[in-house]
Structure 1
Amino acid sequence: MFATLNDKLNGVFKRLKKQVRLDESNITEALKMVRMALLEADVNYKVVKNFIGSVQAKAMGEEVLKSLTPDQVFIKIVHDELVEILGGKDYDEGKIRLNSQPPTVIMMAGLQGSGKTTSSGKLAGLLMKQKRNVLLVAGDIYRPAAIDQLETLGKQLGCDVYSDRDSRDAVKIAKDALEYAKKTAKDVVIIDTAGRLHIDEELMAEIVRTKEAVNPDEILFVADAMTGQDAVNVAKAFNESLEATGIILTKMDGDARGGAALSIKEVTGKPLKFIGTGEKMGEFEAFYPDRMASRILGMGDIVTLVERAQESIEDGDAEDMAEKMAKHGLDFDDMLKQFKMIKKMGSLESIMRMIPGLNNISMGDMDEKQFKKIEAIIFSMTRQERKNAKILNSGRRKRIARGSGTSVADVNRLVNQLNQMNKMMKQMKKKLGGSNKLNPAMMRDFLKMR
């Protein structure tokens, strides 16, 4: 998502970079291109109009016109305005409002197929990482598969799930679940309601009654980012009936143009609280306007990347590998462990998008297929070969290639990759004054950020 918009905006910035000074003429031309890029990204036209007006007012200021780096000043103005339409700099609405008297009740709402049930599970997982005792409630009585799905997610997460397959009363299920949560000392209750159209009066009346029965602390509307402005319009209609407290955008890893993410806060007046960035349970994160603005402009998002690494990589694993790297360098078994650490953090493409300058690089096969190829090559080695790459002569490499169903070139590439990693470690040692100064704690931090 945002790849096309990012390309077009970077095209504007490159043209400005060639200008010695900014003046009214080239600013106007740049803003026309920005306006077109936003409209093509399916951003709400009113949002675009306000955005362009605000950027223009600041770009025409004396400080900008006299700047020696006009392109950088213009980029900063665009970045700051993107942050504003996404939610603002002082953004603290994205947090779940926990009730001082548990349980905190969260009600999920949205269209069928928007990813509501999956988002309920992902949110539960996120809260469980924060040491919250969570209860998932299967409140969709119209789709039996929704109950099965939620119970499966509950088992996967180790989270308690409340369901009543015999009841046809969604309001009663929610009330009973709340009583159960109080008896079992749950911190948070997440109610997965049935998907419904905003024009379906009967189902909308049901969710309003559920709201009145359980008095939720949070009502989160789940919208599919792939539906563009339709998601924004539906969120607005739902909000009129329910008074949502926040929005979750799913499928942000897709190839949608990104207009929903850029419009939804301005149009609905409700904060975007979470985004789904993939199919895995861990690919779900709190929304931060400044981080998203940086991703849109191709500046990466190192903060989120480091947070994801800290969640995914166990301190013990990082410590052990760091100590080994500091003393002897890595072998193929270590490389395999490192790739597994990276896989825990999500898809390689999503990780690359967070690294400044690499967000637009197409990874092609460098994803799940490539990881499997690397695993196949390493698994085709003997224990001795994994520990000592120096013994891999041409005969051994041919045997490994045959055993892994790959080519000798693939094996050579992997060997070179290992050598490069160890070479980089040696260079780091020299820069820090020798191996005795390269302590495991420093290496652990390096492992968690690379």
Structure 2
Amino acid sequence: MLDAFEVITTSGVVLWSKTYAPVGTHIINALIKDVFIEERTGIDRAARKYNKEQYTLRWTEAKGFGLIFVAVYQSLLHLTWIDELLENIKTIFLGIYKEQLKGSQFRVANYSFDKYFEQRLRELDQTTELPAEDKRQLGAESKRDMLTQADTGGPPPPPVPGLLTVQRQAAPAAEVLSDSTPSQTPETSRPVTPSSQVITAKAGPGGRISRRARKAANANSSNTSGAEDKAKKSTNGKSGAKKMRKWGPDGIADEESDEILDYSANDTGAGTTEELPAPSVDAIDSESFGTKTQKGQFVLKDLGDEIHSILQNADEEKAKANGSSAGVVNSSIGAISSLFRNVVGGKVLTEADLVKPLKAMEDHLLKKNVAREAAVRLCEGVQKELVGKKTASFQSIDSALRAGMESSLRKILTPTTSLDLLREIEVVTSPTNQQQPRRPYVISVVGVNGVGKSTNLSKLCFFLLQNKYKVLIAACDTFRSGAVEQLRVHARNLKELSERENAGHVELYEKGYGKDAANVAKDAVAYAASNDFDVVLIDTAGRRHNDQRLMSSLEKFAKFANPDKILMVGEALVGTDSVMQARNFNQAFGPGRGLDGFIISKCDTVGDMVGTLVSMVHATGIPIVFLGVGQHYGDLRGLSVPWAVGLLMK
């Protein structure tokens, strides 16, 4: 469990730091003073270990750049991976910012290194999900629970010093909740505080309570019991069971009562809709997830395993420096190329020579979660590439196998239509033909429940805002509770970010709950056309792909909204069921209309997700447009075929 990590210069300038628990600045200063300035004796410089107070500091140096990488943790802990973390972080940091560190302004430059560090730390230490402060608080609470359970009577023991935390005042929170409550709650349904939870005066020495405090506690207990009896009587006086609400096949409730079901608007008492002040949104570095072209367009980066590629290149350079061969053993393709060891160099490969190796390759792809039909297609492509090729050494087999696999994989993953979304938007919003009227570009997002449709829609919106577009978000998920509020928060955050960065403009179009999603989408497109919006992003309700009753409404939705592009959000961790999901959604929009692309979410949670991507594209022929790789608005990427090949061949 790490407390802090810092990258500093030999002169003491902090270039980058990450803190998980408060650590005094004098701890790092003592390391610099005792080890690097005064060079005191008694310090284990060979092990690069320094103890100060309750902390242990480990470090490594990059002497060519004058940098020191320091890790700080509690001396009671034994972190076996700390040396590997230091070396890996040094390699990754220098690999990313090597050119920047050579400049004269490197001491004042901005180093966006958090995501790289956290990814590598998660891989090395599986116990860092919970920050140190939270774990200490949990430990204190568990010890207090043990003290409570061990109490068998008599005066309570005195509190253990340093374990009790100061309780926050509950009054401000109650005021906020009352302002944000959508409707008035009847008195009989209000929760009553049990007498056991009424706050009493602090006990004196020996557990004694004053007479005045005891009298006040008894008065509160009697008032509470009276309120409980009153609530119990009102509950018993109700007659009849609750009548079940009936829902139509279109997802709309039958209008049999005047009960208000839409709680999306806050009831402030004056009949107006007022939003609570939004918390500040952290700024996002646009260079971390995209670049600008010469035309000024903001283009997303492709998803690649940047950290592992940097570490692998560093290992290969070390191997070359040591004079070792970077052949079968040191290459990521060695797991497959070792199957060709029986092939003698200088021989022309035939189909008979490749039967067993390709069978083993097929089994390897199946273990990577690739569907069998897709694995067979990949192997056939590799066979065509290798048959008739003359082998010179094992390295040539490695190169031929990688080239053949990448060629076969590229044929499957390469779309048959253009994925240049910005160009398609430009054609619609700025037509060259005067007879063609200007209209907004409509994108709809569909998928099953819980895959991240609203989250990835907001990421897509943030990408469009970077290109100065005026975007309208249509809240067409009129069924799920909280869907409108979720999009309202996203729209509010995106609006703040766009105003701060002088980007595009975003608004939210909503009509609450219980409405027909197709009509809401149609009205949103009309509103966008009349108010000069460039793009309309339509969020839809999640639905089971094997429920015909829920899937049938998508055909009406496609006719009313008439989207230019329908994107399906699929999880990277869903497995082989994603193939059936894609096929069912592709057939649900009526004759002549289907999906236009995939957004694969949660790609940062699985390692072998490439198999699912290959299976989905192979089964449907629908390309992958975007990949979701995190929880921030900038965590959207394009697909890199070499990166997918690397994971398949690992």
Task: Label 1:68 to 1:84 Cα distance change in 2 as closer, same or farther (>3 A).
Answer: same
Q: Could you tell me which amino acid in structure 1 is paired with residue 634 of structure 2?
A: G
Do structure 1's residue 287 and structure 2's residue 634 form an aligned pair?
no
Task: Confirm or deny that 1:262 pairs with 2:614.
Answer: yes
Matched, 1:87 2:424: no
Shift of the 128–112 alpha-carbon distance from structure 1 to 2, 3 Å rule, reads: same
1:12 to 336, 344, 351: 336
Q: Which residue of 1 aligns with 2:530?
A: 183
Distance in 2 of aligned mates of 1:14 and 1:68 = 11
Q: Compute the displacement of 1:67 (Å).
A: 9.2
Q: Where do residues 111-190 of structure 1 align in structure 2 (5 Å cutoff)?
A: 111-158=448-495, 159-165=506-512, 167-190=514-537
Q: Look up the SS of the partner of 2:374 in the other structure.
A: helix
Q: Is the 8 A contact 1:137 1:174 kept in 2?
A: yes
| Partner-residue secondary structure (3-state), 2:472 | strand
Structure ranking higher on relative contact order (CA contacts 8 Å, 6+ apart):
1
More helix by share: 1
Q: How does 1:393-412 map to 2 (within 5 A)?
A: none
Judge which range, 187-196 or 237-246, deviates more: 237-246
After TM superposition, the structure 1 = structure 2 runs for residues 333-344 of structure 1, keeping only pairs within 5 Å, are none
Q: CA deviation at 1:29?
A: 3.6
Task: Write the deviation string for residues 159-196 of structure 1: whole angstroms up to 9, x where unpaired.
Answer: 31111115522112111211221122111001000001
Tell which structure's C-alpha radius of gyration is larger: 2
Tell me the residue number matched to 1:104: 441
Where 2:482 maps in the other structure, the secondary structure is helix
* Residues 272 and 295 of structure 1: CA distance in aligned 2, closer, same or farther (over 3 Å): same
Deviations 1:280-318 (A, max 9, x none): 2111113344554356557xxxxxxxxxxxxxxxxxxxx
Please tell me the residue identity of whatever aligns with 2:336: V
SS at match of 2:552: helix
What TM-score do you get using the length of structure 2 for normalisation? 0.42
Q: Which of residues 48, 55, 63 is equivalent to 2:382? A: 55
Amino acid at match of 2:602: K
The answer to whether residue 580 in structure 2 is matched with residue 233 in structure 1 is yes
- 2:550 maps to amino acid: L
CA positional deviation for 1:275: 0.8
Kept in 2, the 8 Å contact 1:20–1:68? The answer is no
Please tell me whether residue 215 in structure 1 is matched to residue 567 in structure 2. Answer: no
Distance 1:279 1:160 in 2: 21
State the Cα distance separating 1:151 from its structure 2 match: 1.3
1:210 Cα offset (Å)? 1.4
Aligned-pair distance for 1:26? 5.9
Q: 2:446·2:539 contact (CA, 8 Å) conserved in 1?
A: yes
The SS at the match of 1:151 is helix
Name the SS of the counterpart of 2:625 in structure 1.
Answer: strand
What's 1:244 paired with?
595
Structure 1 residue aligned with 2:626: 274
* Structure 2 residues not aligned, in runs of 5+: 1-302, 306-311, 313-330, 432-437, 496-505
104-113 vs 171-180, which deviates more? 171-180
Aligned to 2:552: 205
RMSD (Å) for aligned C-alpha atoms: 3.0
Gap change, CA 1:268 and 1:54, over 3 Å in 2: same
Task: Supply the distance in 2 between the matched residues of 1:64 and 1:77 (Cα, whole angstroms).
Answer: 14
Q: Does structure 2 conserve the Cα–Cα contact (< 8 Å) formed by 1:17 and 1:71?
A: no
CA-to-aligned-CA distance 1:3-47 (integer Å, 9 cap, x gap): 9xx998541235648965264566434322321111111211111
Contact 2:598–2:625 at 8 Å: present in 1 too?
A: yes
Instruction: Check whether the contact 1:79–1:294 (CA below 8 A) recurs between aligned residues.
Output: no
Aligned mates of 2:468, 2:647 — CA distance in 1: 30
1:66 to partner: Cα distance:
9.0
- Against the structure 1 CA distance between its residues 171 and 92, is the aligned structure 2 distance closer, same or farther, given a 3 Å change threshold? closer
- TM-score of the aligned structures, taking structure 1 as reference length: 0.60
Once the 2 structures are TM-superposed, how far is the Cα of residue 2 of structure 1 from its aligned partner? Answer: 11
Map of 1:397 onto structure 2:
none
How far is 1:252 from its partner? 1.1
Tell which deviates more after alignment, 254-263 or 191-200.
254-263
Tell me by how many angstroms 1:198 deviates: 2.2
CA 1:17–1:181: 2 relative to 1, 3 Å? farther
Q: Verify the 8 A CA contact 1:223 1:248 in the aligned structure 2.
A: yes
* 2:25 corresponding residue in structure 1: none
Alpha carbons of structure 1 residues 225 and 68: separation in structure 2 relative to 1, 3 Å: closer
Q: 2:400 — aligned with what?
A: 73
- CA 1:290–1:70: 2 relative to 1, 3 Å: closer
How far apart are the structure 2 equivalents of 1:121 and 1:252? 17
Q: Secondary structure at the match of 1:203?
A: helix
Amino acid at match of 1:41: K
What letter corresponds to residue 335 of structure 2 in structure 1? G
Aligned pair in 2 of structure 1 residues 27, 71: CA closer, same or farther (>3 Å)? farther
Provide the C-alpha distance between the structure 1 equivalents of 2:464 and 2:334, rounded to a whole number of angstroms: 37
Partner SS, residue 221 of structure 1: strand
How far apart, in 2, do the equivalents of 1:67 and 1:59 lie? 13
For 1:257, the aligned partner's letter is: D
2:304–2:643 Cα contact (<8 Å) kept = no
Q: CA deviation at 1:154?
A: 1.3
Contact kept in structure 1, 2:597 and 2:625, CA below 8 Å: yes
Query: Contact between 1:154 and 1:161, CA under 8 Å: does it hold in 2?
Result: yes
d(CA) in 2 for partners of 1:71, 1:249 = 30
Distance in 2, Cα, partners of 1:68 & 1:238: 44
Deviation of the 1:199 alpha carbon: 2.7
* Pair 1:196 & 2:548 matched: no
Using the TM superposition, give the Cα deviation of residue 271 of structure 1 relative to its aligned residue in structure 2, in angstroms: 1.0
* Aligned CA distance change for structure 1 residues 199 and 175 (closer, same or farther; 3 Å): same
- Note if contact 2:475-2:539 (Cα within 8 Å) is conserved in structure 1: yes
Change (3 A) 1:77 1:52: same
Matches of 1:229 and 1:166 in 2, distance apart? 34
Offset at residue 202 of structure 1 (A): 3.1
2:603 aligns to what SS in structure 1? coil
SS in 2 for 1:210: helix
CA distance in 1, matches of 2:476, 2:513: 12
CA distance in 2 between partners of 1:183 and 1:238 (Å): 31
Name the CA distance, whole Å, in 1 between partners of 2:304 and 2:625. Answer: 19
